[in-house]
Structure 1
Amino acid sequence: MPTSLHPAVVATVDAIYRSHHGWLLGWFQRRLGSACQAADLAHDTFLRLMASRDVAALREPGAFLRTLAHGVVVNHWRRIDIERAWAAAVSAQPEPVTPSPEERAVALETLCRIDEMLDRLNPKARSAFLLSQLDGLGYAQIGEQLGVSERMVKKYMAQAMLQCLLLAGE
């Protein structure tokens, strides 16, 4: 996100904030049941608004905010699911293997970044990558399961590996 915004963008975001913050906060509260979480996610939504292109040219800012807010709440629920799965995996470990709070925070952040990376892939590329990495299948086996050629599996894996490299570079 830019450190300084154009005055027209600042004025537009300010006007949208004044007009729509109340209903956005209520929208999040109805979905989450928590005023604190609703305030955090409303804040995240407006950060996304400021980072988006052509804010000053928005014709329907309410509809655009709804779209942004939907993405924010989906990411919030996805993170909660990842945290629950991680907590279940950790609780199944013997006590000496239980990670420290710092290790847990790093692992959760990494899992969320991997989840976002996988979400950027098309469904077949994601499936090919997971079948390869989690199930240990070869490209020919993956091609059979997905109903595509081995060459296409190689393309899917290249897409996934590119996303992995981009993730590692962040």
Structure 2
Amino acid sequence: MDPQRLLASLYHDNHAWLRGWLSRQVRCPQDAADLAQDTFLRAWDARQLERIQEPRAYLSTVARRLLCSLWRRRKLEQAYLDQLAELPLAYAPSAEDIALVREAIEAIDCLLEGLPSRVKRAFLLNRLEGMPQQAIAEQLGVSLATVERDLRRAFVHCLSQTAESP
């Protein structure tokens, strides 16, 4: 069967179920609709439609990953907005600046996707907050050597991601 028909069949048979499942997870019909569409786009991009044995298990796994990314991105955005709220009004950024920062946060989040959370955290503490490695080790409760290894891993990961980009 050709890939377009496989996707159409997968969509027809599972879209309502996936959207309902996502609605229960996010409690927002618009977010659920967006995540459902993104899930089917990922399934299409994966070019593995003919190999899917359990469609709902596959779709829920993809959707769960997208859901985690959404929550992680919102948590980052909220932390940024909380920091903005503490600034005096004279230093409040424009709507354009906020949009640029959100884009940068999403780009960083995508760049670090796939790394363990401790590696991401060490990288963000070092690069965004300017923390020295020893302070990161103390905050994370790991050795200095572990922080050095984590930072090296994050840098190599970022380099490999940017090398793959067009």
| TM-score range normalised by the length of the shorter chain | 0.7 to 0.9
The two structures have a TM-score, normalised by structure 2, of: 0.79
Match of 2:30 in 1: 36
Task: Specify the code of the residue in structure 2 equivalent to 1:16.
Answer: L
Post-superposition Cα deviations, 1:51-80, rounded to whole Å, max 9, x if no partner, equal 113211211111100101111111122222
Task: Pick which of 30-39 and 13-22 moved more.
Answer: 30-39
Match of 1:88 in 2: 82
Shift of 1:25: 0.8
- For residue 146 of structure 1, give the secondary structure of its aligned residue in structure 2: coil
- For residue 93 of structure 1, give the secondary structure of its aligned residue in structure 2: coil
Task: Specify the code of the residue in structure 2 equivalent to 1:104.
Answer: I
User: CA contact under 8 A between 2:119 and 2:153: conserved in structure 1?
Assistant: yes
Q: What runs of 5+ residues in structure 2 fail to find an aligned partner?
A: none
1:136 correspondence with 2:131: yes
CA distance, structure 1, for counterparts of residue 89 and residue 121 of structure 2: 34
Bigger Rg, structure 1 or 2: 1
- For residue 120 of structure 1, give the secondary structure of its aligned residue in structure 2: coil
**109 and 21 in structure 1: CA distance in 2 versus 1, 3 angstrom threshold:** same
- For residue 2 of structure 2, give the secondary structure of its aligned residue in structure 1: helix
| Amino-acid identity (%) | 29
1:159 correspondence with 2:153: yes
User: CA contact under 8 A between 1:25 and 1:38: conserved in structure 2?
Assistant: yes
Match of 2:16 in 1: 22
CA distance, structure 1, for counterparts of residue 126 and residue 82 of structure 2: 25
Task: Specify the code of the residue in structure 2 equivalent to 1:71.
Answer: R
Shift of 1:99: 1.4
Task: Pick which of 64-73 and 119-128 moved more.
Answer: 119-128
CA distance, structure 1, for counterparts of residue 96 and residue 42 of structure 2: 28
Match of 1:146 in 2: 142
CA distance, structure 2, for counterparts of residue 8 and residue 19 of structure 1: 17
CA distance, structure 1, for counterparts of residue 12 and residue 52 of structure 2: 15
CA distance, structure 2, for counterparts of residue 25 and residue 159 of structure 1: 36
Task: Specify the code of the residue in structure 1 equivalent to 2:85.
Answer: S
Query: Could you say what the CA RMSD is over the residues aligned between the two structures, in angstroms?
Result: 2.9
Post-superposition Cα deviations, 1:61-108, rounded to whole Å, max 9, x if no partner, equal 111001011111111222221221121111111223211112111101
The two structures have a TM-score, normalised by structure 1, of: 0.77
**How many corresponding residue pairs?**
162
- For residue 16 of structure 2, give the secondary structure of its aligned residue in structure 1: helix
